[in-house]
Amino acid sequence: MLGCDISNSFVKVIGTGSDTSFWDEVWCGNEAFFLKYPRLHRLELHKNASVADRISWSDSRPSITWEWTSQPRWRAADDLENLEKLLNVIPPACGKPDTWTWKHEKHGKYSSASLAAVLTNAFLANKPLPEPTLLNKLIPQKIGIFMWRVQKNRLPVRIELDNKGIDLNSVLCPVCNDDIESINHALVACKSAASMWEKVRLWWGFDNLPITSYSDLALCPSPHIRDNLGSQIWQAVIWVNTVDEQIEGEGKIGFFEGLAKRGLISPFSGTIVSDGSSNVLT
């Protein structure tokens, strides 16, 4: 299940040993003895023998009793020697009934919350490293969601609708009518979008904008900005300009004025303010 063997998550704790199969259950080490020592298992006279049938303790020392169909020889004899070395160091029986313990908790008690954590970790371990999270606390949540959809190519532009079998009169961009309306065209290449990005470039005093495709919008950095706060503000500017037609209530101008009131940006001078000092972005 999701790369996690739940059956091996429960470990048998030996009490008297009478309720635990010596060969078939995992009670000493990480593997059942019938798998670890198949030659000895084939020679075992009573394959359903319990731990108590094979081991007893006297003065805290184990006494091992075997019943073979024939005496182990050669490699089976070597296996027997290794098995007895392993059994000679196990702790003595406590006299209590055999119990199960959940190995993922120190107290050994199973819970659904612990199982959920195990499954989650196993699931994430089989996944590739996640893409950078689109999180910027300076912008409304709806814009972050929109940019996540941009990154995942999940916007209902005309070419995507056509690919899904939705009948349209045209797949050309309804704004410029010059090219197919893809995400890249709608947000970057369209004349209307290109005009907006040029205004952003002039406003911030950049020689160029590192935006050549829609994938650049999601995590668009600026080589002109050297601190983390400035990068977040620049990212917020890019995102808000990308989806300004999506904003309801708080418009684009109101958003930038809000940053200015908080002392984070001087919108008309191309300057950000960080830790009380101004850093010109040119």
Statement to judge: residues 61 and 37 lie in one domain: yes
Statement to judge: residues 92 and 155 lie in one domain: no
- Which residues neighbour 46 within 8 Å (Cβ) at sequence distance 6 or greater? 53, 67
- 150: containing domain: 141-280
- pLDDT < 70: residue spans in the chain: 1-5, 7, 93-94, 123-136, 209-210, 214-282
Total domains present in the chain: 2
Per-residue pLDDT tens over the stretch 239-255:
666 655 433 433 444 44
- Whether 206 is covered by a domain: the verdict is yes
Residue 35: enclosing H or E segment and its boundaries? Answer: helix 33-36
**Residue entry with tokens 């300009």:** 241
- Whether 134 is covered by a domain: the verdict is no
Statement to judge: residues 24 and 117 lie in one domain: yes
pLDDT at 96: 81
Cα 54 to Cα 13, 62, 66, 87, 218, distances in angstroms: 16, 10, 6, 10, 66
- Render 95-114 in DSSP notation, one character per residue: SSPPEEEETTSTT----HHH
Statement to judge: residues 167 and 89 lie in one domain: no
pLDDT at 217: 59
Q: What is the pTM of this model?
A: 0.41
Per-residue pLDDT tens over the stretch 142-161:
777 777 787 788 888 899 89
- Which residue type, as a one-letter code, is found at position 137? K
Statement to judge: residues 238 and 264 lie in one domain: yes
Statement to judge: residues 119 and 153 lie in one domain: no
Of the candidates 232, 242, 96, 137, the residue with the CA atom closest to the CA atom of residue 183? 242
pLDDT at 172: 92
- Whether 227 is covered by a domain: the verdict is yes
Statement to judge: residues 180 and 51 lie in one domain: no
